């Protein structure tokens, strides 16, 4: 019997609507690579999990975050204290599974209480073997990460706890700390092959464009794509062909696309050498390009700029970003631990191959820390943003970018047709 089932049995036997869900939970601890440790109770599956510990400031959208492939190999800390009250449903997932390596919450909901709920959060965590921890000071954990940066960590519970660990005895924590230090780092990690689709599939135009000829055809490279992205494009009349990350330019061109899209995804962009070479071949072909998140970082590297690891990253649905072209501030959804390093103040000649791709400029900056949040090529049809305009979860301020890309594809197709006549 899993923990969620035990909780329901308690409610049935006692008739209480507010049972103590911490009773009968195994002890658990979270330990970071620098030795910082907190004790709590098991949440979800019991056992051991390792990963980079990061936090998100979103107060809603935990289901979308859990199923975002960009969180692969990461232990996610929710800064919102009460998690689980909206349950789980089959509409909101961004992929076919939960991708987080572990889950940290302060107060799990006693039961789902939402008209859209089709199941309990904890049941899903147990079913998918996601090790978590609750009943701990997530604020202290978040503040530590803000001070020290994103660190490797581990959640340990039940049989994975050595004697004395639940009481944070130094010898036991030292044992767990050594396990954490032996785990892989995120810097240098190439993870695309672990999250990409196995085979190509198509999302047909939807809504008012259903069963009509598509306005445009798009080749989308899945680096850990969120399902909401092609759904939005399809609603605009775009036929989206989603390709594995191992695809070649010839594969993409086989559908005669009007443009190419690179998705979000996990890992260090500096390690994605094959994907960068594919992107350069796309730019060389002259096809319009749009990238989101990881796709933004890869465009930066394809152009010859560097990328670097942020101290603790941007994760949440409330990040203010300045659109330099309009002067407007958009509240945006983020999930990234790396960023592009390029001149902020004026356009620059792209460094790759002595300016092969012409000039580029920073189009968007984060108002919290001046991190590059978008870039645009001035001499070829390519642009990208670091944040998530698909807003799953999050605000819709930046949804216009999909229409902007559609217009870019249509304009490019028209100019190409004129040139061929």
Is residue 186, in this structure, part of any structural domain at all?
Answer: no
In this structure, are 264 and 289 located in the same domain? yes
Pairing of strands 216-221, 107-108: unpaired
Rg of the chain over all Cα atoms, to the nearest angstrom: 23
Q: CA-to-CA distance for 178 and 335, rounded, in angstroms?
A: 28
In this structure, are 143 and 214 located in the same domain? no
Following CA atoms 147, 148, 151, 153 in sequence, which dihedral angle do they give, to the nearest 10 degrees?
Answer: -70
Q: Which domain holds residue 63?
A: 3-181
Closest CA to 236 of 261, 266, 273: 261
In this structure, are 146 and 196 located in the same domain? no
Kindly report the CATH number assigned to the domain that includes residue 252: 3.40.50.880
Query: If DSSP codes are grouped into helix, strand and coil, which group holds residue 300?
Result: helix
Q: CA-to-CA distance for 115 and 387, rounded, in angstroms?
A: 30
Is residue 187, in this structure, part of any structural domain at all?
Answer: no
In this structure, are 113 and 220 located in the same domain? no
pLDDT computed for residue 332 by the predictor? 95
Report how many domains make up the chain.
Answer: 2
Closest CA to 232 of 341, 391, 382, 44: 391
Kindly report the CATH number assigned to the domain that includes residue 145: 3.50.30.20
Query: If DSSP codes are grouped into helix, strand and coil, which group holds residue 121?
Result: helix
In this structure, are 16 and 63 located in the same domain? yes
Token couple for 318: 């409330």
Last residue of a domain, one of 154, 181, 208: 181
Q: CA-to-CA distance for 313 and 230, rounded, in angstroms?
A: 25
CA distances in angstroms from 343 to 307, 314, 349, 362, 372, listed in the order given: 12, 20, 10, 7, 9
Give me the tens of pLDDT residue by residue for the chain, a chain 421 residues long.
444 454 345 434 434 333 345 568 999 999 999 999 999 999 999 999 999 999 999 888 999 999 999 999 999 999 999 999 999 999 999 999 999 999 999 999 999 999 999 999 999 999 999 999 999 999 999 999 999 999 999 999 999 999 999 999 999 999 999 999 999 999 999 999 999 999 999 999 999 999 999 999 999 999 999 999 999 999 999 999 999 999 999 999 999 999 999 999 999 999 999 999 999 999 999 999 999 999 999 999 999 999 999 999 999 999 999 999 999 999 999 999 999 999 999 999 999 999 999 999 999 999 999 999 999 999 999 999 999 999 888 888 999 999 999 999 999 999 888 777 6
In this structure, are 145 and 209 located in the same domain? no
As annotated, the binding site includes 70, 265, 267, 294, 297, 335, 337-338
Q: Which residues are catalytic?
A: 293, 388, 390
pLDDT computed for residue 418 by the predictor? 76
Phi first, then psi, for residue 326 (nearest 5°) are -105, -20
In this structure, are 46 and 172 located in the same domain? yes
pLDDT computed for residue 417 by the predictor? 80
In this structure, are 261 and 301 located in the same domain? yes
Q: CA-to-CA distance for 377 and 412, rounded, in angstroms?
A: 14
pLDDT computed for residue 415 by the predictor? 87
């Amino acid at each position: 019997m899993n923990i969620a089932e035990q909780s329901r049995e308690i409610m049935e036997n006692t008739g209480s609507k507010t049972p103590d869900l911490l009773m009968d939970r195994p002890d658990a601890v979270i330990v970071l690579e620098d030795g910082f440790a907190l004790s709590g109770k098991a949440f979800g599956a019991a056992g051991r999990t390792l990963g980079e510990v990061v936090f998100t400031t979103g107060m809603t959208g935990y289901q979308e975050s859990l199923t975002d492939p960009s969180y692969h190999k990461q232990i996610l800390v929710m800064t919102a204290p009460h998690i689980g009250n909206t349950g789980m449903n089959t509409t909101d997932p961004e992929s076919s599974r939960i991708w987080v390596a572990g889950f940290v919450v302060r107060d799990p909901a006693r039961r789902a209480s939402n008209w859209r709920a089709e199941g309990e959060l904890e049941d899903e965590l147990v079913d998918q073997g996601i090790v978590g921890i609750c009943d701990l000071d997530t604020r202290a954990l978040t503040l530590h990460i803000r001070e020290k940066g994103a660190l490797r960590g581990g959640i340990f519970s039940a049989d994975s706890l050595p004697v004395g660990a639940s009481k944070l005895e130094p010898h036991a924590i030292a044992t767990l700390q050594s396990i954490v230090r032996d785990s892989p780092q995120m810097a240098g990690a190439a993870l695309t092959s672990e999250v990409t689709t196995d085979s190509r599939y198509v999302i047909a135009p939807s809504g008012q464009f259903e069963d009509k000829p598509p306005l445009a055809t798009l080749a989308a490279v899945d680096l850990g794509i969120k399902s909401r992205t092609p759904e939005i494009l399809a609603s605009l009349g775009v036929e989206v062909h989603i390709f594995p990350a191992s695809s070649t330019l010839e594969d993409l061109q086989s559908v005669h696309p009007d443009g190419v899209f690179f998705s979000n995804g996990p890992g260090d962009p500096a390690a994605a050498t094959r994907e960068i070479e594919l992107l350069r071949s796309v730019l060389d072909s002259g096809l319009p390009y749009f990238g989101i998140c990881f796709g933004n970082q890869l465009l930066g590297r394809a152009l010859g700029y560097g990328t670097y690891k942020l101290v603790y990253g941007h994760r949440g649905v409330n990040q203010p970003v300045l659109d330099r072209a309009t002067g407007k501030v958009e509240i945006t959804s983020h999930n990234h631990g790396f960023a592009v390093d390029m001149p902020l103040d004026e356009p620059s000649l792209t460094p790759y191959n002595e300016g092969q791709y012409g000039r580029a400029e920073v189009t968007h900056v984060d108002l919290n820390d001046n991190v590059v949040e978008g870039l645009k090529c001035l001499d070829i049809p390519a642009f990208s943003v670091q944040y998530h305009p698909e807003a799953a979860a999050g605000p819709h301020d930046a949804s216009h970018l999909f229409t902007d890309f559609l217009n870019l594809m249509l304009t490019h197709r028209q100019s190409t047709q004129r040139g061929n006549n």
